[in-house]
Amino acid sequence: MDNDITIHNMSYAFPGKRDSPVLSNVSMRVAKGEFVSIIGSSGSGKSTLFKLLAGLLDPTHGTIELPWIQDGKRLGQVAYMPQKDLLLSWRTVMENCLLPSEFASGRQDKVRVQADILADLERFGLSGYAHAYPDELSGGMRQRVALLRTLLTGGQLMLLDEPFGALDALTKREMHRWLIELWEGLGKTVLFITHDIEEALLLSDRIILLTPGGQNQQLEDMTVPLPRPRHSDMIYEPALVQMRRLLEEQLHAKR
């Protein structure tokens, strides 16, 4: 419990829009090592929630507790992958992956960092692409580079904002397998924003449905009743069909 992420009665309104908060009295708890998906209609505040967790914005009211953060600085302790992959087009895959070490405090042995990145690229199915530029890669490969760079920023918590939204169904499925293997191997806490209910059901331990603004934002919090390892056919199990219907209804009702 001590390692849980805790958000308590948190509200956030953008400057100049104090009367219409994007997030209003939101509370949630996420256990260390959990994989939790956040779904919600467009504009319900999902990306804003991630920016608050990453420390890029400060709550207007309420608190966010990340128990492992020592000095209050979240940069480098929370790995945040924004909706757009933001790979630098003028830098190679290797140079993009070197960014976190360039920002890190203290001197790092560059030769060693590069050797580690080469090993990671192999693990991520990207061997031979260290010197390629982002626009020479497929969508799935770009996302893997962006995820690797996110991982290299370190930290216990990974915030992934619709990482697979733009991928075709087959690539998406491969990326799911790969992400789950990675998550199981690293034991990190993952928060994952998606619009794809099936994706949320197959990947997550829990799904949190964020409803748009209002005075007291209610969160639906559902545990996914599936063992691991999971496979795509599980989506047809009666408990999942029922849960999917419920989520779709809630999502449409709250628009």
Ligand X SMILES: Nc1ncnc2c1ncn2[C@@H]1O[C@H](COP(=O)(O)OP(=O)(O)OP(=O)(O)O)[C@@H](O)[C@H]1O
Q: Rule CB under 6 A: which residues touch ligand X?
A: 14, 22, 40, 42-48
Token pair listed for 115: 């050797």
Judged by CB, which is closer to ligand X: 40, or 163?
40
Judged by CB, which is closer to ligand X: 43, or 76?
43
Spatial separation of the C-alpha atoms in residues 125 and 85, rounded to whole Å: 18
For the CB of residue 56, give the shortest distance to ligand X in the complex, in Å. Answer: 10
Judged by CB, which is closer to ligand X: 47, or 218?
47
Judged by CB, which is closer to ligand X: 33, or 59?
59
Crossing angle of the two packed helices 139-152 and 93-103, in degrees rounded to 10: 20
For the CB of residue 128, give the shortest distance to ligand X in the complex, in Å. Answer: 34
- 12 CB-near residues (< 8 Å, 6+ apart): 21, 22, 23, 45, 48, 52, 57, 59, 60
Ranges assigned E (strand) in the chain: 5-12, 23-30, 35-40, 61-65, 78-81, 157-161, 189-193, 206-210, 219-223
For the CB of residue 213, give the shortest distance to ligand X in the complex, in Å. Answer: 8
Residue 69, exposed/middle/buried by CB under 10 A (0-12, 13-18, 19+)?
middle
Judged by CB, which is closer to ligand X: 42, or 215?
42
For the CB of residue 98, give the shortest distance to ligand X in the complex, in Å. Answer: 29
For the CB of residue 181, give the shortest distance to ligand X in the complex, in Å. Answer: 27
